[in-house]
Amino acid sequence: MHALLPRILKSAYRKEPVSSFIIIVGAVNALIGGFDERWSLLTFGMMVVALAFVIRWWQTQRRETELAQQPVTRFLPESSSRPPLPMLTTSKRQPPR
């Protein structure tokens, strides 16, 4: 578990660096506000973290819809005018001695 958490955090930070940075800032604000009993800073930090999660979810949903709407680009024609290539077979040869 200890080795898994940094790997998950690194991959999440690489995918969405802006929202990950906002999450970190909000979490630090919430921790400072919680330990110093400053309830306004704790509330502000929790709101920033929630906002960052909403932004990340929105970006993910938008990216999925954009990928679904993109047309498929074909570089080769559907049916080729040439006959198909023969199947490759591996011959069982003796290795050199």
pLDDT in tens, 14-52: 777 787 888 888 989 999 998 888 889 999 999 999 998
pLDDT, tens digit, 9 for 90 and up, residues 49-84:
999 889 888 888 887 777 777 777 777 666 656 666
pLDDT given for residue 24 in this prediction: 86
Query: What is the CB neighbour count within 10 angstroms for residue 29?
Result: 20
Residue 29 · residue 52 · CB < 8 Å: no
- Band the pLDDT of 8: cuts 50, 70, 90: confident
**How many angstroms separate the CA atoms of 38 and 28, rounded?**
13
CA distance 16 to 18: 6
pTM above 0.85, yes or no: no
